[in-house]
Structure 1
Amino acid sequence: MKDLEYIVNGIIVEDENKAEQDEARKKRMLASAFVMVRNKTGMNRKEFAAWLGIPYRTMQDWELGNSQVPEYVLRLVAYKVMIEKERGNI
């Protein structure tokens, strides 16, 4: 049986706390990944936000885990950083 699951009347029920913990873990992982991508540029938050055209507060919330960066945005930002580094632009 998986962690935090139990059986009620023959039905496996997942603990709601596990789902919340999984979501919080995912948010932290995405936040860390975003910070790692930014760190590859050597830019601080303000510079990086301006370079990307993303509001500073939005990016700050992503990095602090207050809100979740959409995965597609993280992939696009990582791709942009990779391309610009290859071109020698950052």
Structure 2
Amino acid sequence: MELSEKIRALRAETGLNRKQFAEHFQIPLRTVEEWEAGRRKPPEYIPRLIKYQILYEQQFGKQNKKEHDDTV
């Protein structure tokens, strides 16, 4: 899978549009657009870091929400 496809797939996994994805991961919007279009390539580790962040937020975001809901 090309890096551009990996970035698109990761964004699709989050359910965010490009602007939201860029803001969430603190990546310039233009950079995300260039990556997805294949005009620029991110360093090899970037998709991996984004994936780890997504997994972390899925795991701990749910726990934090549950803990918050239990205290309210």
What TM-score do the two structures reach when normalised by structure 1?
0.64
Matched, 1:77 2:50: yes
Please, which runs of 5 or more residues in structure 1 have no aligned partner?
Answer: 1-27
Higher relative contact order (CA 8 A, sep 6+): 2
| Aligned partner letter, 2:4 | A
Aligned residue number for residue 50 of structure 1: 23
Tell me the distance in 2 between the aligned counterparts of 1:66 and 1:36: 17
1:29 corresponds to which letter in structure 2?
Answer: E
TM-score normalised by structure 2 residue count: 0.79
State the number of aligned residues: 62
Q: Say if 2:17 is the partner of 1:31.
A: no
In structure 1, distance between residues paired with 2:25 and 2:38: 19
Higher helix share: 2
Query: Aligned residues: percent identity?
Result: 39
How far has the Cα of 1:87 moved from its partner? 2.2
- Which has more radius of gyration? 1
| Bigger shift: residues 79-88 or 30-39 | 79-88
| Structure 1 or 2: more strand by fraction | 1
Q: 1:15 is matched with which residue?
A: none
- Shift in Å, 1:45: 0.4
- Displaced runs of 4+ in structure 1, greater than 3 A? none
Question: Over aligned residues, Cα RMSD in angstroms?
Answer: 1.4
Task: Point out where structure 2 has 5 or more consecutive residues left out of the alignment.
Answer: 63-72
